[in-house]
Amino acid sequence: MKLSIGAMVEPGSTRTNKTGSWRTFKPIIDVEACIGCGTCSMFCPEGTIYKVADKYTIDYDYCKGCGICAHECPVKAIEMVMEEE
Amino acid sequence: MQEELFAPGHRGCAGCGAAIAARLILKGSGKDVIIVSPTGCLEVISSPYPESAWKVPWIHSLFENAAAVASGVEVALKSLGRKDEAKVIVIGGDGATIDIGIGALSGMLERGHDITYICYDNEAYMNTGIQRSSSTPYGASTTTSPAGKVSFGENRPKKNLPAIAAAHGIPYVATASIAYPKDVIKKVKKAISIEGPKYLQIHAPCCTGWGFDGSKTIEIGRLAVETALFPIYESTEGKVTSVKKVKRKPVEEYLKAQRRFSHLFKIEGGEEELKKIQDIADSNAKQFGLDQ
């Protein structure tokens, strides 16, 4: 591996590491039930739940499946389901 | 939508409280900052070479000298006449802040640098294998304060660093918890808007080290505040100016949800220890007037 001067690296370059492969349970947002409050997005340790229009969507490339979003959702609109092969 | 300044793909455990703290701090600070991080979980998970989760200028220091490195950065900005371009923030864990870096931190506070020092407090050395720190609370079992036949776990109270920081007479000291994100963001914004040295301590539960399911990081954080074991307040020049009042819950509700305190509910004499922990909570509630 070649070191750059000052060992500097590109900002935000951990994105090359797709942590979605860590996941055992997958959060699924029920868009009908979602009230768009943003609690899930605020608490996500990966910062990988985004607002699209008035609802929220999860980027499964990085979601580790911790389940904080489902646990904290005030209207229980997120369900954790077992990942399939 | 506000740009996410802490990128995904970092190596934090699923449910990591420190990663949530980092995201909230950056939401409050915005992009015009220079972050200094000493060694610790956050540094390890966010900077596996040749990658970085940070989308703002970030520098890693040694365990003990983050406050000194930040002081140098601040003075350099000043002497280059570029002080308006960025705020200097330190984000360090409790080991780096409350144990190892306390000397450098005290120097930074005493010299009056315009720096916001933020400690994310997960109450032990997590990335090296859950060894106790001086911020580990009374009764917690860690790998270096293990509960067993002759021990109830950590036998010393949690060091009160916010009080030590406040004793420097600095303009702003505050505590917060990741369970109350808007409060964290507000306090970071406030801290960086004040000239001079500021100290913030953010309670950040650790699912791996404390022993609870990763989905409960926020719930556990909330319980620490609601039981008065982690009081949330602000202080200016040594005087408390605001506190977060709570409808108090018994400490057992917080303790029984974590593996590090589970021995207190099993071994003989545990009840007495629980009473001592309740006394700590009662004393916090009385000192800060936390009861609603």
Hey, is B123 helix, strand or coil? coil
What is the reported pLDDT for B2?
Answer: 67
Cβ of B219 within 8 Å of Cβ of A71? The answer is yes
* Matching residue, tokens 């934090």: B12
Convert the pLDDT of each residue in B200-209 to its tens digit.
999 999 999 9
B243 beta partners: B233
Please name which of B237, B244, B235, B252 lies closest in space to residue B284, comparing C-alpha atoms: B244
Q: Letter for the amino acid at B130?
A: I
Ordered structural domains, chain A, with CATH = 20-82 (3.30.70.20)
Q: Given B8, B207, B216, which is nearest A19 (Cβ)?
A: B8
Rounded mean pLDDT, B214-219:
98
Q: Which residues of chain B make contact with A50, given a CB cutoff of 8 A?
A: 1
Rounded mean pLDDT, B72-101:
98
Convert the pLDDT of each residue in B25-81 to its tens digit.
999 999 999 999 999 999 999 999 899 999 999 999 999 999 999 999 999 999 999
Helix (H) or strand (E) holding B33: strand B33-37
**Helices assigned H by DSSP within B35-128:** 41-46, 66-79, 94, 102-111
Percent of chain B with pLDDT over 90: 98
CA–CA separation, B219 and B201 (whole Å): 19
Cβ of A47 within 8 Å of Cβ of B23? The answer is yes
Rounded mean pLDDT, B145-173:
96
Average pLDDT, chain B: 97
* Matching residue, tokens 């009374």: B138
CA–CA separation, B234 and B89 (whole Å): 18
Q: Does B209 touch chain A (CB under 8 A)?
A: no
Q: Best residue in B25, B35, B51, B180 to probe A by mutation, most A CBs within 10 Å?
A: B51
The pLDDT profile of chain A, 85 residues, written as one tens digit per residue, is: 777 887 789 999 999 999 999 999 999 999 999 999 999 999 999 999 999 888 899 999 999 999 999 999 999 999 999 998 6
Q: Does A50 touch chain B (CB under 8 A)?
A: yes
Residue B241 is encoded by which pair of tokens?
Answer: 């100016």
What is the reported pLDDT for B225?
Answer: 98
Ordered structural domains, chain B, with CATH = 17-288 (3.40.50.970)
Return the sign of the alpha-carbon dihedral for residues B98, B103, B106, B111: negative
A28 beta partners: A79
Residues 175-194 on B with a CB inside 8 Å of A are 178, 181
CA–CA separation, B51 and B39 (whole Å): 16
Cβ of A47 within 8 Å of Cβ of B8? The answer is yes
